[in-house]
């Protein structure tokens, strides 16, 4: 099965009221582990690569690894998505490589640091949608800035997504999916106090835009057992804290259809590699530590797939092509 448009996976998730995990990758072992988990649980899957991942894998390697993943797993509907694209140029580059979906993170300027105005965000996001949709490619935008609700920086409502703006943003940009800021942040240190998501924002957006697929970035749970393994074998990650799966599950009924996970995968891999190095320092064949790392990641992702409700969904999906999506966008009047 060729790579499928991400929009289809989100539409299917909406029909079945579940969420699809979007797992970040940089190399072959990560891709293999995620595909193995999808195969075991019969799940659809979104594999995503950041700009850093594309650079690390020299672009072409990632492209062919994903072609291999699709060829090896013809029964698994798999979308390939650009995570945190920062410009139209980057989106074009990813689409040329065969990505079936792109994120344009217009909440920040091209430097990925400076916040933009609402108008700037609309303009760059719309330019990406105007380029991607005629090619059948899915577009994810972002409104609001990720950050903890109680971390002092993100305590103001300004950083969380404003539902009024979300309605205007979606109308003006015609994005397929919208990343919303509801109190999560990237990485292993998300909360100082008890984790709390701004459920009311998701509920309000869902009420006003029931068809919209929302995306939750910063969705790693930072499981204590994985942190313990890292620390037990020489790591140093005190006070790491993530979003409990129960919090994630609480937003799924309100239109959160894509859940981004990178940090938990990094923890699983690092813990497994540290364990081998610590227990058997005489080993130096990369396969001796990359294999357990790949297995640890596959176990983690399979559990995520069950928890998010993605498991079992693959069999119900008849893959669409980018050509089908062009017809779909024409039908919506989004392209000519």
Among ligand G3H, ligand 13P, Zn ion, none, partner that 219 touches (CB below 5 to 8 angstroms by kind): ligand 13P
Q: How far is the CB of 218 from ligand 13P (least distance, A)?
A: 4
| Residue 264 beta carbon to ligand G3H: minimum distance, rounded to whole angstroms | 10
Query: Candidates 30-38, 148-156, 197-205, 209-217 — which segment interacts with Zn ion by CB under 5 A?
Result: 209-217
Stretch binding ligand G3H (CB under 6 A), from 49-57, 121-129, 222-230, 316-324: 49-57
Total residues in contact with ligand 13P, by rule CB under 6 A: 13
Compare residues 81 and 275 and give the one whose CB is closer to ligand 13P. 81
Catalytic member of 11, 83, 262, 307 = 83
User: What binding mask, one character per residue, do residues 131-170 give for ligand 13P by CB under 6 A, x or -?
Assistant: ----------------------------------------
The residue from 148, 163, 218, 223 that contacts ligand 13P (CB under 6 A) is 218
Map the chain to HEC letters. Answer: CCCCCHHHHHHHHHHHCCCEEEEECCCHHHHHHHHHHHHHHCCCEEEEEEHHHHHHCCCHHHHHHHHHHHHHCCCCCEEEEEEEECCHHHHHHHHHHCCCEEEECCCECCCCCCECCHHHHHHHHHHHHHHHHHHCCEEEEEECCCCCCCCCCCCCHHHCCCHHHHHHHHHHHCCCEEEECCCCCCCCECCCCCCCCCHHHHHHHHHHCCCCEEEECCCCCCCHHHHHHHHHCCCCCCCCECCCHHHHHHHHHHCEEEEEECHHHHHHHHHHHHHHHHHCCCCCCHHHHHHHHHHHHHHHHHHHHHHHCCCCCHHHCCCCCHHHHHHHHHHHCCCC
Cα separation, 279 vs 163, whole angstroms = 51
- The CB-of-50 to Zn ion minimum distance in angstroms stands at 8
Rule CB under 6 A: which of 250-309 touch ligand 13P? 260-263
Minimum distance from CB of 45 to ligand G3H (Å)? Answer: 17
Selection from 229, 220, 274 nearest residue 247 by Cα: 220
Is residue 287 exposed (0-12), middle (13-18) or buried (19+ Cβ within 10 Å)? exposed
For residues 41 and 50, which CB has a smaller minimum distance to Zn ion in the complex? 50
From the list ligand 13P, ligand G3H, Zn ion, none, pick the one residue 7 interacts with, judged by a Cβ distance below 5 to 8 Å according to partner type. Answer: none
Total number of residues binding Zn ion (CB under 5 A)? 1
83 is catalytic: yes
**Closer by beta carbon to ligand G3H, 51 or else 203:** 51
**How many whole angstroms separate alpha carbon 178 and alpha carbon 254?**
13
Chain positions 216 to 235 lying near Zn ion, rule: CB under 5 A, are 217
Nearer of residues 62 and 215 to Zn ion, judged by Cβ? 215
Partner from Zn ion, ligand 13P, ligand G3H, none binding residue 53, C-beta < 5-8 Å depending on class: ligand G3H
Q: Which of residues 44-73 bind ligand 13P (CB under 6 A)?
A: none
Give the residue numbers marked as catalytic.
83
Which residues bind to ligand G3H, rule: CB under 6 A? 24, 50, 52-53, 83-84, 186, 262
């Amino acid at each position: 099965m060729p790579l499928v448009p991400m929009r289809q996976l989100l539409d299917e998730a909406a029909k079945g009221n579940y969420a699809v995990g979007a797992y970040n990758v940089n190399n072959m072992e990560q891709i293999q582990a995620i595909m193995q988990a999808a195969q075991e649980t019969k799940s659809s899957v979104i594999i995503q690569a950041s700009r850093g991942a594309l650079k690390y894998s020299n672009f072409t390697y990632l492209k062919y690894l994903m072609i291999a993943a699709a060829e090896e797993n013809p029964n698994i509907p798999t979308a390939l998505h650009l995570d945190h694209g920062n410009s139209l140029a980057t989106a074009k580059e990813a689409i040329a490589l065969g990505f079936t979906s792109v994120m344009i993170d217009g909440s920040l300027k091209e430097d990925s640091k400076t916040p933009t105005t609402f108008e700037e965000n609309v303009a760059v996001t719309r330019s990406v949608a105007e380029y991607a949709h005629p090619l059948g490619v899915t577009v994810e935008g972002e409104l609001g800035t990720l950050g903890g609700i109680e971390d002092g920086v993100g305590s103001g409502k300004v950083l969380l997504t404003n539902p009024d703006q979300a309605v205007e943003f979606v109308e003006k940009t015609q994005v397929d999916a919208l990343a919303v800021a509801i109190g999560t942040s990237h990485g292993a240190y998300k909360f100082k106090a008890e984790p709390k998501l701004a459920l009311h924002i998701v509920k309000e957006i869902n009420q006003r835009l029931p068809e919209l697929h929302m995306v939750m970035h910063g969705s790693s749970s930072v499981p204590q057992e994985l942190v313990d393994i890292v620390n037990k074998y020489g790591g140093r990650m005190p006070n790491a804290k993530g979003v409990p799966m129960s919090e994630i599950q609480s937003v799924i009924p309100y239109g959160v259809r894509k859940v981004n996970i990178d940090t938990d995968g990094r923890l699983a891999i690092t813990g497994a590699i540290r364990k081998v190095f610590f227990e058997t320092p005489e080993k130096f064949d990369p396969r001796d530590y990359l294999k357990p790392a790949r297995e640890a990641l596959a176990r983690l992702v399979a559990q995520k797939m069950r928890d998010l409700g993605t498991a079992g969904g693959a069999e119900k999906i008849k893959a669409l092509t980018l050509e089908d999506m062009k017809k779909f966008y024409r039908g919506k009047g989004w392209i000519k």
